[in-house]
């Protein structure tokens, strides 16, 4: 079985400050990890993924995420938040073998205040 | 790249009626996925096609649900004898099959309300 936990329903941050959105996972085998963002009335958009290699992966819109195998975490980060980053963020995981389907977390709403 | 297209955007139906949703993936994508999303939750996997073959089905997909992708292009998801618990956003996504980790491209979804 595979699962994702996003422990924070909402994260509030001031514009210009760094942001972190937390994600921990459970999977049998090596994980493939993804972050998606959902804006109101829009579909989910891919931000970044970790498959193998460097633990720090860079993605769209200045976002990055750090894979930590010992803590089974894949936290999303951005050095300087923008008001336009306000959206719903989802972490997802699948194992490197077996089922292709991604398992998503319940989402974290990011609110960036001007 | 016109993106993944889903039709209709909204559907309101009475309990017990049948509904059908359509998904048109990005044209060169041969993998197609259906997910369901309820308020406050992340997307839940329903089923997955590679070309016209349905390769995975979730236990969430009861016998009232059926999905097809007859020519390996567009797909339909039918729900028979709808129940109020079927009210949700139904999301379609597509991806390339080159490599194992092509990201999913999602459509804007079909919101189903069962009254």
What's residue A42's pLDDT? Answer: 82
Interface subset of B 1-20, CB within 8 angstroms of A: 4
- For testing contact with chain B, the best of A3, A9, A31, A44 (most B CBs within 10 A): A44
- Give mean pLDDT in consecutive 10-residue pieces for chain B, a chain of 115 residues: 89 98 94 94 94 90 93 94 96 83 90 97
What's residue A65's pLDDT? Answer: 98
Tell me whether residues B45 and A101 touch, CB distance under 8 A: yes
What's residue A96's pLDDT? Answer: 80
Model confidence at A53, pLDDT cuts 50, 70, 90, reads confident
Interface subset of B 66-95, CB within 8 angstroms of A: 91, 93
The pLDDT mean for chain A works out to: 94
What's residue B109's pLDDT? Answer: 95
What's residue B49's pLDDT? Answer: 94
pLDDT one-digit tens code per residue, A8-31: 999 999 999 999 999 999 998 899
Is the Cβ–Cβ distance between B6 and B95 less than 8 Å? no
Closest to B95 (Cα-Cα) out of B24, B43, B5, B31:
B31
Residue B45: which residues within 8 A CB-CB, separation 6 or more? A101, A102, A103, B33, B34, B35, B56, B58, B60
Tell me whether residues B56 and A101 touch, CB distance under 8 A: yes
Q: For chain A, what percent of residues have pLDDT higher than 90?
A: 82
């Amino acid at each position: 079985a595979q699962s994702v936990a996003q422990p924070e329903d909402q994260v509030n941050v001031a514009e210009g400050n760094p942001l972190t959105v937390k994600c921990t996972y459970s999977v049998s085998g090596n994980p493939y990890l993804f972050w998606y963002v959902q804006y109101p009335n829009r579909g989910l958009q891919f931000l970044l993924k970790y498959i193998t290699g460097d633990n720090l992966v860079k993605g769209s819109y200045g976002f990055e995420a750090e894979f930590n195998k010992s803590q089974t975490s894949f936290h999303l980060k951005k050095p300087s938040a923008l008001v336009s980053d306000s959206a719903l963020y989802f972490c997802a995981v699948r194992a490197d073998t077996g089922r292709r389907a991604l398992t998503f977390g319940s989402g974290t709403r990011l609110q960036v205040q001007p | 790249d016109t993106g993944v297209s889903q039709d209709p955007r909204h559907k309101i139906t009475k309990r017990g009626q049948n509904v059908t949703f359509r998904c048109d993936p990005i044209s060169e994508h041969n993998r197609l996925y259906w997910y369901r999303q309820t308020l406050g939750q992340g997307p839940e996997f329903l089923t997955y096609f590679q070309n016209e073959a349905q390769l995975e089905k979730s236990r969430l997909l009861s016998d009232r649900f059926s999905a097809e992708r007859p020519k390996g292009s567009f797909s339909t998801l039918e729900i028979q004898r709808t129940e109020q618990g079927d009210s949700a956003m139904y999301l379609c996504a597509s991806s390339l099959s080159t490599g194992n980790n092509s990201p999913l491209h999602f459509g804007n979804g079909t919101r189903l309300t069962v009254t």
